[in-house]
Structure 1
């Protein structure tokens, strides 16, 4: 595990709930940053939840054509084939982030995330976060 690599990822609230419940073990993206396997993802569930709700470990990041990704991950993606190909419409290359060690956490609300990170907005896709920011998220969820 790469305990030094942390990122926050924004995930639609329905998909975040499916990740937490174990129905979804692969997050799909049209593009994604470079992170090593073992990196820790802090899952931000979009509004109406508006909070960090879980952490997960990146097992692997797989880049390939949408049709190849569908062949490999259709049972883990928790989306219909129609929605999958609509999402990847116009893309030659997509990304499947394989997730493991998903851990629901006490929610860290949007205002606390903003205060800890010193920013007004949450990234639309994902952003790397510092070890210090990750430790403050840990402290918040344990001592609020």
Structure 2
């Protein structure tokens, strides 16, 4: 099965697995709509793959509309959201369905990846 590996800052990555962040925000999303799973790479300073989640849906709209739809479970402040999407006409929110935190962290090499992706990378799981 094809999945995507996303680089996510540690503070936000852990909020996904704690359940307080139910949306992962992106300026661009992957084009392959058959992808239903996200592998979470917690970026620097952690630099470990910490778990995965199933995708419920992907919302795409103006940043203002996406914020209205997601703010209660965004896991971030409105200031961080606005700063991230500043100057953008389109925002994407990947809705987290179910999560699985790995009991033992994995490395990028476990997914045949040698450097952390700037945005995402397709992987086979």
TM-score, structure 2 length as denominator? 0.92
1:75 is matched with 72
The alignment status of 1:129 with 2:100, answered yes or no, reads: no
Cα distance 1:61–1:37, how it changes in 2: closer, same or farther (>3 A)?
A: farther
Cα distance 1:115–1:76, how it changes in 2: closer, same or farther (>3 A)?
A: closer
| Paired residues for 1:39-118 under 5 Å | 39-105=36-102, 106-109=104-107, 113-114=108-109, 116-117=111-112
Runs of 4+ in structure 1 deviating by more than 4 angstroms, as ranges, are none
TM-score, structure 1 length as denominator? 0.80
Matched residue pairs, number? 124
Cα contact 1:43–1:54 (8 A) shared by 2: yes
CA distance in 2, matches of 1:72, 1:116: 33
Describe the superposition over 1:28-64 as per-residue Cα deviations: whole angstroms up to 9, x where unpaired: 0111112436611110001111111011001111110
Cα contact 1:37–1:59 (8 A) shared by 2: no
1:138 is matched with none
CA distance in 1, matches of 2:57, 2:35: 8
User: More helix per residue: 1 or 2?
Assistant: 1
Q: Which moved more, 1:82-91 or 1:34-43?
A: 34-43
CA distance in 2, matches of 1:75, 1:68: 13
CA distance in 2, matches of 1:37, 1:100: 15
CA distance in 1, matches of 2:53, 2:37: 6
User: More strand per residue: 1 or 2?
Assistant: 2
Structure 1 residue runs of 5 or longer lacking an equivalent are 135-144
